[in-house]
A and B are shown apart, each in its own frame.
Chain A
C-alpha cells in the first residue's frame, strides 16, 4: 500500500520513463565504454592513491592490534566494546542499502532502482568486508576467530548456540556469501557484453572467463530471470535478519539502555538510512565524473530522498522510545543512561546526532531539496556522521553506566581509536575504485529491459541505423531529445 502510493505520488512522473529517451544499444556502448574506452582518468589515480594510503593505515592499525593487543584502543573495563564494535555496526548498516535496492525494491517492482542496484550491491560487499574485520580483531587474538565456527576439533568444543555473537557469525557470513552470489549472478550477462565489446585480446580473455560463456540463449534467460527473483526473495528477509541479529547482541544484554525489544527494527531502519546516504553520496560524484546523467536521473535522487526521509522518521521514533522507556520503567539505572545522554558528558554528541539524523532529514520533505544535489550531498554527509554517532552513543552511554556505581567510567576515544574509525574507508574506497574501473557499474541488460518496457511507439532511431560510440559518450548530447516536463532530462 505504502509503496503503491510512494510510486504513484506523481502521476506525471509515473507515466514517463525513469530513463529518458535513450536507445537500448547506446546503453551498452555507454556503460561498457566507461571501462573499455575511457582509460584511466587522472581523478581515478588520485582517488585510488589516497584510498590506498588510508588502506595502509588500516594495515597499520590491524597489525598493531594483533601484536600489541586491544589495549591500544581506549577501551576500559565497563566499556569493553569501543570503536571496533561501533565500526562493525556502522559498516554492516552501510551494506544494507545495497540489498534493499537490489532485492527488496526488485520484488516491489520499483523499476527506478535498476541503475543504482549494481554499485549499491558492490558497496554492500565492500562494506561487509570492512565490517567483518572488526569483531575478529576485537577478539585480541584474531587467529582464534575460527573457534566460533562448528568444526570437529580435538577439544570437542562446540559453539554456544544461544549466544547472539554466534548468530552474528552465521548471519554475517551468510549475508556476505549470498550478496556475493547475487552480485555475480547479476553481473553475468553484463560480463558477456564486456567480452563482446573488448578489443584487446587479454581484456577479452579476462571477461570471457568471468562471463562463463554466457550467450543470451532464450532458455537461459528464462532460468536466469527466475533465479534473480528467487535470490531477491531469499536476500530480502536475510538482510532484515542480519541487522536484527546485530541488534540482539545489544538487546539480549541486560545493560541499561539496551534491553529493549525495539532494537531490531530500530537498527534495521538506521542501517537503511546510513546505507542510502552513502549510496547517494557516491552516486553524485560518479554521475558527474562519468557523465551518467541519463542513467542516474534526478528521479533516483528524488526517490532515495524519500526513502531517507522515511527511515529517518523511523529512527526518530526509535529515539523517542529511548526517552519513553526509561521514564516509563522508572528504573534508576535506565535513568542514569538517559541523563548521561541529555545532560551528561555525551550530551553534545547526543544533540548533534538528533540534529543530523532526525531534524536535518526533515529537509527531504521538499522536492526542491531532494532534487538539489548539493543539498542532497550535504544531508548525506550529515546522515553518515549522525549514524556513526548513534552507534557511538548506544555503546558509550550504556556501557559506562554499569550497574555497580563504583564501576562507572567514561569512554573517550584516543588516537588509535580515531585511526580505526577512518582507516576502513581506505579498504572500502580502494575496492570501490577497482570496481568502477574493471566492472560495468550499471546493469546493462536491466536498463535495456527497462527502456524496452517504456519504448516509444515509433521505436528508436537505431532500429534503422547504427549509432557510433562518438554519438553517445558525452552523456547528454546526440541522441537525446529531452522531453518537456520529464524528470531528469534537463537537470544540472
Chain B
C-alpha cells in the first residue's frame, strides 16, 4: 500500500451541492480526519465553520497598513515642509497640518488596499501555477456547479481503501484519486 500512496495527493469526492458537502465535512470531522480540503465554485456559507477556518490575520494586516500609510503620508509632508526646505508661503505655519490630512488619508487608503490584496494572495499561496488537485477528473466543474472534498494522503488516518470506502458512503457523485 505504501508505494501506491507515494504520488497520491489525496482522495477527492465530488458533491452535488454545498449542503451535501457540509454534511460530508461534518461526518469526516467526527470520524477524526484532519487534513480535509474543500473546493467550491463560490463561498459556501457554513463551510468555513464546518472546517473551522477563519481569516483572522487580514484585519490586522489592514489595520497596520492603514497606520503605516498615514504615518508615511504625514511624515513625508512634515519633513519636506518643516525640516528639509522650510518656505514661508503667505505667512502660513510651516506645519499646516489641516492641509496635510488629505494626502495622509489618501496614502493610508492606498497602503491599506494594496496590503490587504497582497496579503490575501500571499496567504493563499497565489500565484501557484501547479497544484495536484487539478489532476482530479472533472475538476473544471469546481468553478461551475460541483463541490469537491479532498482528504489529503498526509492525514494520519489516511488509508487508501478505508478512506475510499468511507467517502463513498457519504453520498457523493463520485470519488477519485488526485495524483501529483
Is the C-beta of B68 less than 8 angstroms from some C-beta in chain A? no
**What is the bound-complex CA distance between A237 and B110, given in angstroms?**
12
Contact partner of B117 (CB less than 8 A), chosen from A161, A185, A459, is A185
**Chain B residues in 8 Å Cβ range of A196:** 139-144
How many B residues have CB within 8 A of the partner chain?
A: 63
Say whether, besides A156-B84, A224-B43, A463 and B17 are in contact (CB < 8 Å): yes
Which residue, of B40, B41, B110, B143, has the highest number of chain A Cβ atoms within 10 A? Answer: B143
Is the C-beta of A303 less than 8 angstroms from some C-beta in chain B? no
In the complex, given contacts A162-B92, A196-B140, A224-B120, what are 19 additional A-B residue pairs having Cβ atoms less than 8 angstroms apart?
A28-B144, A150-B76, A161-B103, A174-B106, A174-B109, A178-B113, A185-B120, A193-B41, A212-B126, A213-B126, A214-B126, A218-B37, A223-B123, A224-B124, A227-B58, A227-B116, A230-B59, A234-B113, A235-B113
Is the C-beta of A390 less than 8 angstroms from some C-beta in chain B? no
Say whether, besides A218-B37, A221-B42, A158 and B85 are in contact (CB < 8 Å): yes
Is the C-beta of A14 less than 8 angstroms from some C-beta in chain B? no
Which residues of A does B touch, CB under 8 Å? 23-25, 28-29, 150, 156, 158-162, 166-167, 170-171, 174, 177-178, 181-182, 185, 189, 192-193, 196-197, 208, 212-227, 230-231, 234-235, 237-238, 241, 245, 444-446, 448-449, 452, 459, 462-463
- Judge whether B96 and A161 touch: CB under 8 Å: yes
Q: Which 10 A-B pairs have the closest CB atoms?
A: A25-B145, A212-B127, A196-B140, A218-B38, A213-B128, A221-B43, A193-B143, A158-B80, A227-B120, A445-B42
- Judge whether B109 and A170 touch: CB under 8 Å: no
**Chain A residues in 8 Å Cβ range of B58:** 223, 226-227, 230
Is the C-beta of B47 less than 8 angstroms from some C-beta in chain A? yes
- B3-28 interface mask toward A, CB cutoff 8 Å, 1 = contact, 0 = none? 00000000000001110000000000
**What is the bound-complex CA distance between A216 and B140, given in angstroms?**
11
- Judge whether A24 and B37 touch: CB under 8 Å: no
Query: Whose C-beta in chain A lies nearest to the C-beta of B102?
Result: A167
- Judge whether A213 and B127 touch: CB under 8 Å: yes
Is the C-beta of B71 less than 8 angstroms from some C-beta in chain A? no
Which residues of B does A touch, CB under 8 Å? 16-18, 37-44, 47-48, 51, 53-55, 58-59, 62, 76-77, 80-81, 84-85, 89, 92, 96, 99-100, 102-103, 105-107, 109-110, 112-114, 116-117, 119-121, 123-124, 126-131, 133-134, 139-145
Selected A-B contacts with CB under 8 Å, 22 pairs = A161-B96, A161-B99, A161-B100, A161-B103, A170-B107, A177-B110, A181-B117, A193-B144, A196-B144, A213-B129, A215-B39, A218-B39, A219-B51, A221-B40, A221-B43, A222-B55, A227-B119, A234-B109, A237-B109, A444-B143, A462-B145, A463-B16
